[in-house]
Amino acid sequence: MMLRLSLPLILLSHSAYSMLLGWVESPGYPSGYSPHSSLNWSRCAPKGHTLSIRLIHLDLEDSHECENDAVKVYSNGNLISVLCGKREFEELQSTVNPLLLSSPGGCLSLHFYSDFSNTKRHTGFRGFYTVQDFDECEDDPENGCTQFCHNFIGGYHCSCRHGYYLDTDKHTCTVSCSKDLSGLNRGDISSPSWPGSYAENANCEYNLSVAPYLQLELHFSGVFDVEQGHDGQCIDALRVETRTGTLGPFCGITAPPSPLLTYSHNVKIRFTTDGYGTNKGFFFHFKTTALLFTSTLTRSSDDHRLINRLVDSVYTFPGFVFVATSMSVPHLHLEMAQVQSAHQICLNTLAHTCVSCHHCHELARPRLHVSAVSSSHNVAKGRVITIILEEYFTETTLCAVM
């Protein structure tokens, strides 16, 4: 019963598509068309289908560029074929009919006309039109499925290999690789499928959060292999995001400096990949080191209220100290006085590592006096080093090597 009903149901399913198969022929076929004859015909395919015309007979008056009698076929309004003269069935099948095809869900239009000057009677043309399913998996390289494609009548469906899931676009296969590791003071993070090739179309986020008096540092080991373009730009990328900026992107075969100091107790590790490649990825161990508040702020200048707002905290590490601010401060002069044996000051927005501040290992606890002034001036006691911030920063970090 279902088989008997299937064809009528298809034929009557949508009035806009009219009949989905049938004949189209010139007026008077096969006896022949008369002068000044014409025919306009049009049909459209449903979504996920194509419409085709297969001519089985063609006998029209021949003329230069078919200017007298002709059959013109259009696809979505674009001319795809102009026919006249007489063609054998084999020629129609091999060179004409393959062109008479609509786009998926598109329309075909046919226009036939004759003039007044026929010297003999021509039989005309006849063709069979039909709607057929369009196989997006085989015939559409832009179907968008990144792994598996399954065709069905009127459409297609994408699916994924084991370990992947279909993203919200219903085409992209990706992996679940985001983790909240907050509260852990140590652990390991690696690219998906490590030590095998990492997954394509990944967007991994690893959130790390420890106590405010600690900072997170990353120790890379083993192979580092993240896809990089010939121009040196990162195709896939590893980034380390903190409240004050981003370290990276990192890619290629050279690992980031190890240990990679983040100077933050809140860190987001982000790893993104495209849909291609067989690179191995990365592996690192994270742990914490202490941030110690050891210095005091002087309020001897007239700008003590400004200092109180600008300077959040002063930290010391083995071999260097940090002054952290969280205001947007244009052209601010910060003077650091009484820094004993200071030989270098680094300006670091945490977008770049202050490398020269990492090499001393003795814990130094100097008294650091900070004042904000409108211009440079000398301070009697100790060595004075002036830093001029020429940019706007949402958060600025100064470090002094001891």
Could you list the pLDDT tens digit for every one of the 402 residues in the chain? Answer: 323 333 333 333 444 444 578 999 999 999 999 999 999 999 999 988 999 999 999 999 999 999 999 999 999 999 999 999 999 999 999 999 999 999 999 999 999 999 987 778 899 999 999 999 999 999 888 888 988 999 998 889 999 988 888 988 999 898 888 999 999 999 999 999 899 899 888 999 999 999 988 999 999 998 999 999 999 999 999 999 998 899 999 999 999 998 999 989 999 999 999 988 889 999 999 999 886 433 333 333 333 333 333 334 444 434 344 444 443 333 333 333 223 223 333 333 332 333 333 332 222 223 233 333 223 333 222 322 333 332 222 333 444 333
Place of tokens 């967007």: 203
Domain 178-290, CATH homologous superfamily name and number = Spermadhesin, CUB domain (2.60.120.290)
Q: Is the peptide bond before 212 cis (omega within 30 degrees of 0)?
A: no
Rounded distance, CA 123 to CA 14, Å?
A: 34
Residue 298's pLDDT is 35
Domain 137-173, CATH homologous superfamily name and number = Laminin (2.10.25.10)
Residue range(s) of every CATH 2.10.25.10 domain in the chain:
137-173
**Per-residue pLDDT tens digits for 337-346:** 223 223 333 3
Structure tokens belonging to residue 57: 């007979």
**Per-residue pLDDT tens digits for 9-60:** 333 344 444 457 899 999 999 999 999 999 999 999 998 899 999 999 999 9
Please give the sequence-ordered ranges of beta strands (E in DSSP) within 192-259, or none if there are none. Answer: 203-209, 214-220, 237-242, 245-250
Give Cα 298 distance to the centre of its chain.
50
Rounded distance, CA 170 to CA 213, Å?
A: 44
Residue 276's pLDDT is 84
Residue 19's pLDDT is 58
Place of tokens 């085409």: 171
Amino acid at 85: G
Backbone phi, then psi, for 81, in 5-degree steps?
-160, 140
Domain 2-134, CATH homologous superfamily name and number = Spermadhesin, CUB domain (2.60.120.290)
Q: Which residues pair with 59 in a beta bridge?
A: 86, 124
Amino acid at 246: T
State the Cα torsion 30-35-36-41 to the nearest 10°.
10
- List CB contacts of 142: < 8 A, sequence separation 6 or more: none
Residue 142's pLDDT is 86
Residue 69's pLDDT is 95
Residue 141's pLDDT is 85
pTM (2 d.p.): 0.48
Residue 65's pLDDT is 92
Residue range(s) of every CATH 2.60.120.290 domain in the chain:
2-134, 178-290
Q: Are 249 and 159 in contact (CB under 8 A)?
A: no
Residue 338's pLDDT is 29
Q: Is 212 exposed, middle or buried (0-12, 13-18, 19+ CB in 10 A)?
A: exposed
C-alpha distances in Å from residue 169, one per residue of 96, 142, 306: 38, 14, 51
- List CB contacts of 260: < 8 A, sequence separation 6 or more: 217, 218, 219, 220, 240, 247, 284, 353
Structure tokens belonging to residue 312: 């959040």
Rounded distance, CA 319 to CA 357, Å?
A: 7
